[in-house]
Amino acid sequence: MEADSNSYLDMELLRFSTAGSVDDGKSTLIGRLLYDSKSIFEDQYEAIELSSKKKGEEGVNLALLTDGLRSEREQGITIDVAYRYFATPKRKFIIADTPGHIQYTRNMVTGASTSNLSIILIDARKGIIEQTYRHTFIASLLGIPHVVFCINKMDLVEYKEEVFEQIKKDVEAFASKLDVKDIHFIPISALHGDNVVNASKNMDWYQGGTLLYLLENIHIGSDHNHIDCRFPVQYVIRPQTDDYHDYRGYAGRIAGGIFKPGDKVVALPSGFGSTIKSIDTLDGSIDEAFAPMSVTITLDDEIDISRGDMIVRENNQPTVSQDLDVMICWLNEKKLQWRGKYAIKHTSSDARCIIKDIKYKVDINTLHRLEEDKDIEMNDIARISLRTTKPLFFDSYKRNRYTGSVILIDEMTNETVGAGMIINK
Amino acid sequence: MRTYNLTHIKELESEAIYVMREVASQFENPVLLFSGGKDSIVCAHIARKAFFPSKIPFPLMHVDTGHNFPETIEFRDKFIEKIGANLIVASVQKSIDEGKVIEEKGYNASRNGLQTVTLLDAIEEHKFDAAIGGARRDEEKARAKERFFSHRDEFGQWDPKNQRPELWNIFNGMKHFGENFRVFPISNWTEMDVWQYILAEGIELPSLYFSHQRDCFVRDGVIMSESEFIPQKPEEITQEMQVRFRTIGDMTCTGAVASDADSLEKIIEEVAATRTTERGTRSDDKRSEAAMEDRKKQGYF
């Protein structure tokens, strides 16, 4: 909250998720980040001070800051993704705070889906446990560009360097098998504040930055795809007023690449080509637009384009197909139905699909492929093949999170039941 | 080298425009809830941006408690005229007259809770399938888990344990007959973001937000505006004070803050330095620790 008004407008946005198990101090860490960065208001602090007293706790329990709903307060655990906000003079942060227990894999996946960075907590006394594998795997599966392992509760292992180094070595050994691009390690004590916002006085052997320093400085400029031009058409704007009689604008949010007036483009699925005439906003026309901007594009030629279509560059086109392989995270109590039919959403496109094959389930704790196990229940992750009722225009999830992701919807209940990441075959 | 980075304000704006367009595409009969407060003004501004050069393709609706600040109504009517939108007014007074709700009694009586009934009735009457609101997740604990597309059953109820997961930027607006959605395009904004955006975009606001002289009294540590709608206790003495409002709601439950901030720049300085949340001035949230959660479950925003 200390940002002054001039620098504030130049700040970048960093979205990060936190994963941890019930007792490894995740809520305390977030509470500590908010408290030490002075993002806590007096009335919020007073409220948790009062609750801490009511529960007979010593001191103020910072973890209470992030406990949202009454049912959670009663159980003392976080059951759903909760979003928190804070800002420093350098960046504004959105935290997707997700519970780490196995039954909440779906929440972790949800929180991770929009994150630039993931914080994974490890209890220094316990080292790597099953959940560490699971959290790291999910971060890698969801394509989170940066992963930070916070070795927490260093105070309980006398701030020993050996403990930190051993855990670091263990994590590196298994993370090398996963697709995680950028890994960091920080020894912390969330309870006492070591290396969270302020540098620790107890670990002079640690030369790296604090967690907040890393969050403020990590390079996120390359987290969007600025190479493959993808513009899913969301809405067609036709004012039909005197001033804009023949105006036909294609509104959408750029999913990848950089678009400029004069660019030769192709509309999918029709395949008709045209040239970008203008890129419009209420504040005037602009010279270029890139992900994740929301703009309106007009073309030189009048071609038939509607919601669900995609404008791309002539020489760089996505895969167009009705058959796709996806890694799916199952989100619903009702099992995935082999040969079942679901509604599917992909960018601005709606279709139906049939589950053609369940190839294998992933044991998210050991990362083994279970090829015989076709029982896909809530919180399971599996590789499946789908066939859609109409062609989708997609990239692999690895290449582009927005043109590479789908959700499945149960047509009876309308619930979102599956989150899929497309694999390029 | 040219870097392709959006500032956080531009990224939040882009996200909100995207959500507006999803609403217009996925629903047949959406409505934008407009209270005359800064968050709903920002939403209306974003809706203009989303559909320019067309007009906003859905109406705006004001749930009128009848206990508004006169400045709010004056602003509302001018604003609607300027942007050329359709305005629907849903009246809490009418719900009271029709016997659908019973007014609270006593010193702290407020019509804030009654709005829920009027809102749900209006949604049913006009057959709205999505109501867009300016609620933000940073406002209050129970809102931290709210979705962009928040599903409500046929009773308008919110079930915090049974919300649809929301992944990437794919929003699921599918629903059964009679169900509807609440949609919150500025979910990810903070109070500071809203103010910075208002300044950057040159958005006009009701005069209540800026420091002015007003007849006020103090109740439970909150500065309240003197009004015909609030009975004062003998010890609650009216005095002229230099105040402004951080949020604008019903006169009976919206507290003022002592402030000299008479420009957006000064307000931003004040917000940056302030140590209490804006809902700290809302007496309706103070009723119990889970006050907001309870009201939300019943269909309140």
Helix B38-51 vs helix B191-201: crossing angle, to nearest 10: 50
| Closest CB to A247 among B12, B49, B53 | B53
| Predicted local confidence at residue B86, as pLDDT | 92
Domain ranges of chain B: 8-193+290-297, 207-285
Mean pLDDT lowest among A76-80, A197-201, B42-46: A76-80
CA A299 to chain centre: 33
Query: Greater confidence, B42 or B233?
Result: B42
Q: Identify each DSSP E strand in A125-234 by its residue range.
A: 146-152, 182-187, 230-232
Label residue B273 by pLDDT band (50, 70, 90).
confident
Contact B280 A41 (CB under 8 A): yes
| Closest CB to B280 among A43, A241, A296 | A43
Q: Does domain A5-217 have CATH number 3.40.190.10?
A: no
Closest residue of A to B201, CA-based? Answer: A283
Mean pLDDT lowest among A108-117, B268-277, B285-294: B285-294
In DSSP terms, A97 is beta-bridged to A18, A82
Residue B66 predicted with pLDDT over 50:
yes
Contact B277 A241 (CB under 8 A): no
ipTM value: 0.91
The answer to whether residues A269 and A393 touch, using CB atoms and an 8 Å cutoff, is: yes
Label residue A77 by pLDDT band (50, 70, 90).
very low
Q: What is the DSSP string of A292-358?
A: T-EEEEEESS-----TT-EEEETTB--EEEEEEEEEEEE-SSSPPPTT-EEEEEETTEEEEEEEEEE
Contact B187 A252 (CB under 8 A): no
Question: Domain B8-193+290-297 belongs to what architecture?
Answer: 3-Layer(aba) Sandwich (3.40)
Percent of chain A residues topping a pLDDT of 90? 64
Q: A230-313: same fold as A5-217?
A: no
Q: Is B55 within 8 Å of chain A by CB? A: yes
Residues 29-88 of A with CB under 8 A from B: 41-44, 47, 51, 67-71, 73, 79-85, 87
B169 CB neighbours in chain A (<8 A) are: 114, 253, 402
The DSSP letter of residue A194 is B
* For range A178-183, the mean pLDDT: 86
Q: Is A241 within 8 Å of chain B by CB? A: yes
Contact A416 B172 (CB under 8 A): yes
> What would the CATH number be for the domain defined by A230-313?
2.40.30.10
A405 CB neighbours in chain B (<8 A) are: 167-168, 170
Query: Greater confidence, A406 or B285?
Result: A406
The angle formed by the CA atoms of residues A165, A17 and A39, to the nearest 5 degrees, is 100
Closest residue of A to B54, CA-based? Answer: A239
| Predicted local confidence at residue B138, as pLDDT | 83
Tell me the torsion sign for CA atoms A235, A238, A244, A246: positive
Q: Which of B120-124, B204-208, B244-248, B288-292 has the highest mean pLDDT?
A: B204-208
Cβ burial A312-326 (10 Å sphere, 16+ → b, else e) = bbeeebbbeeeebbb
Q: Does domain A319-423 have CATH number 2.40.30.10?
A: yes
* For range B98-102, the mean pLDDT: 77
- Tell me how far apart the alpha carbons of residues A423 and A320 are, in angstroms, rounded to a whole number: 13
**Which residues have CB under 8 Å from A87's CB, separation 6+?**
A1, A3, A8, A11, A39, A93, B190, B192
Domain ranges of chain A: 5-217, 230-313, 319-423
| Predicted local confidence at residue A3, as pLDDT | 41
Residues 244-263 of A with CB under 8 A from B: 244, 247, 249, 251-253, 258
